[in-house]
Amino acid sequence: MTAHSGVPTVLIVDHDVGLVCWLGEVFTEIGLQAIPAVNCRQALAFSDQLAADVDVVAVNPGLPGVSRMIQTLKSAQPNLKVILIQDHDDEPNRAPPADATIERPSGWQTISRTLWHQKLRGVLRLLNTNPPPGEGTPARI
């Protein structure tokens, strides 16, 4: 999709549909477009069916098939950036190689949209995957 619109595309892969929707909204608000999936097989199917050039994948490293999915995506997009969605108790050594990590919110933790805008902007800066100037909507509190 990048090739058509100039807007970076993030593929969000997690079993928690709430988190997928949340990240979809926050990534969009900071200027990306988002493709959702609840497992790795679906992620590959959607990126194929939508003919998407995926720039970033944000994925739960505990999902079955995650390494193979990343490998497949990287074969199509060598510059793919990988963000792992870590649980608090994840063992870092078992995770696939990644460019960045974000921590999954837990329990009754209050979700701050502003904080997540800052967090994801910081991650994208780190990955050098910046949305086009003027894209995205201002943070809302």
Partner 1 sequence: MSAAPAAAHTVTQSEQRSHQRYPLELEIEYRLLNRARSQRLGSGATVNISSGGVLFRADEFVPSGTPIELMLNWPFLLEGVCPLRLVMRGHVVRSTGTEIAISCRHHEFRTAGTGAARNLKPSPRVRSRG
Query: What is the rounded distance in angstroms from the CA atom of residue 65 to the CA atom of residue 91?
Result: 17
Per CB under 8 A, 130 contacts partner 1: no
How far does Cα 30 stand from its chain's mean position? 12
Which residue of 11, 69, 85, 112 would you call a contact of partner 1, by CB under 8 A? 112
CB of 66 to partner 1, least distance (A): 15
Which residue of 111, 118, 122, 125 would you call a contact of partner 1, by CB under 8 A? 111
Which residue of 61, 81, 116, 129 would you call a contact of partner 1, by CB under 8 A? 116
Per CB under 8 A, 140 contacts partner 1: yes
Q: By CB neighbour count within 10 A (0-12 exposed, 13-18 middle, 19+ buried), where does 59 fall?
A: buried
Per CB under 8 A, 27 contacts partner 1: yes
Stretch of 40-48, 70-78, 81-89, 95-103 lying at the interface with partner 1 (CB under 8 A): 40-48
Give the pair of three-digit tokens for residue 1.
Answer: 């999709």
DSSP string, 95-132: SPP-SEEEEPP-TTPPP-HHHHHHHHHHHHHHHT-PPP
In the complex with partner 1, which residue's Cβ is closer, 24 or 61? 24
Q: By CB neighbour count within 10 A (0-12 exposed, 13-18 middle, 19+ buried), where does 121 fall?
A: middle
| Contact mark string toward partner 1, 42..71, x via CB under 8 A | x--xx--xx---------------------
Query: What is the rounded distance in angstroms from the CA atom of residue 37 to the CA atom of residue 20?
Result: 7
CB of 93 to partner 1, least distance (A): 25
Per CB under 8 A, 33 contacts partner 1: yes
